[in-house]
Amino acid sequence: MIRPHGSEKLNPLFVSAEPERSDLVREAEQLPSLLLNSGAAANAVMLGAGYFNPLAGYMNKANAMAVCDTMRTTDGLFWPVPILNLVPDVSGIATDSRIALRDPNVEGQPVLATMHVDAIETLEAREAEHIAQRVYGTRDPAHPGVKTFLESGRFIVSGPLRVVNFSYFKTEFPETFRTAVEIRDEIGDRGWNTVVAFQTRNPMHRAHEELCKMAMEEVGADGCVVHMLLGKLKSGDIPASVRDAAIRKMAELYFPVNSVMITGYGFDMLYAGPREAVLHAIFRQNMGATHLIVGRDHAGVGAYYGPFDAQEIFTREVPSDALEIEIYSADHTAYSKKLNRVVMMRDAPDHSVEDFVLLSGTRVRELLGSGIAPPEEFSRPEVARILMDYYQSLPKN
């Protein structure tokens, strides 16, 4: 099986052994507490789950700036995005202390992890803007990822973690949330060697379904891991529970038996385009995938990135020896009226736009909200039914 990133074996930070975990939780109740923001809490979950292997905790300022400028930490580890714990107030904690990190997304704010505070550093406004420009490609506060980052606080609290729970992901999505360790184990149990990963924060329509099948056939994959984001999204995106139901229905009805795993991970979307695509590749390598599908506008938002920037970063900026996972670069995929099947648009040079079944996101939402299923060439009817029920349940303006 493919090796994890940066180490020979996966080193998740979750404390799974009992009674060690329970003892740690009880001990944490006596420690000074720090309430995390949602992004930092998601980072803790990803560290605990092994997706951010081989990191041992939150980065300090020197590592954050090095990652921004060189995509490497100060000790040379390839890494594309700073993994930070930014807070607005540090009055209750001190350097060289152990603290309890509390979860902002669960009622009662339970302990999510314990941490040894290595450093507390101030992130100056100019430094924050520099990070935003390098990671997101913009300092525009209208960008949802930039807005969240710039509003997270100006103190960097760094140090190693010991994670004791997986926030709401394990309880709200028990059938879907999986750690990198669990996915690796299941890939092994299924006897898969070549594995395609498909990242999604949206429901999968027919073009997405066929793209997974195309990638599997082209690389000779034993299976595909559909890996959906379960964390916080921008306003207007479809909730994870609805996406989960729609994707499961599609896989149940339209994929061969033992060819697809439906899984999810606990992370808040950054919308960082190319840099986030590289981060996606790292944690898919950590979970055991050998290939990651990177499509048009991968991890993007609005018009901040070119349609293929997230593919081009792997050839222009990522050293050839930095990752073992391979990138499957995909074009926009749509149903061809000429060929009566789904194709990548680059593979149909004799087609005009009118030869494809293309619907804008706005138009799809309008149809679903009106109780009208999109054409079967665009969306499987069983998937459309789930999405129609969701949109029709929303309050009408």
Q: Which of 11, 72, 139, 202 is catalytic?
A: 202
Phi, psi of 287 (to 5 degrees): -90, 0
- Give yes or no for a contact between 265 and 178, defined as CB atoms under 8 angstroms apart: yes
Catalytic residue among 102, 162, 184, 201: 201
State the sign of the Cα–Cα–Cα–Cα dihedral 214, 218, 223, 226. negative
CA dist 331 and 301 (Å) reads 17
Which conformational region is residue 284 in: left (phi greater than 0), alpha (psi within -120 to 50 degrees), or beta?
alpha
258: left (phi over 0), alpha (psi -120 to 50) or beta: left
How far from 115 is each of 120, 156, 190, 306, 382, CA to CA, in Å? 13, 13, 36, 39, 46
- As a whole number of angstroms, the distance between CA 259 and CA 233 comes to 28
Yes or no: say if 131 and 59 are a contact pair by the CB < 8 Å rule: no
CA dist., res. 115 & res. 136, Å (int)? 28
Structure tokens at 282: 């790292």
- ω before 141 within 30° of 0 (cis)? no
Active site residue 202: yes
Residue 121 contacts residue 60 (beta carbons within 8 Å): yes
Q: Is 201 one of the annotated active-site residues of the chain?
A: yes
Q: From residue 7, give the alpha-carbon distance in Å to each of 78, 194, 240, 322.
A: 12, 20, 32, 12
Beta bridge partners of 33: 100
- Judge residue 237's burial from the number of C-beta atoms within 10 Å of its C-beta, 0-12 exposed, 13-18 middle, 19 or more buried: middle
Catalytic residues: 201-202
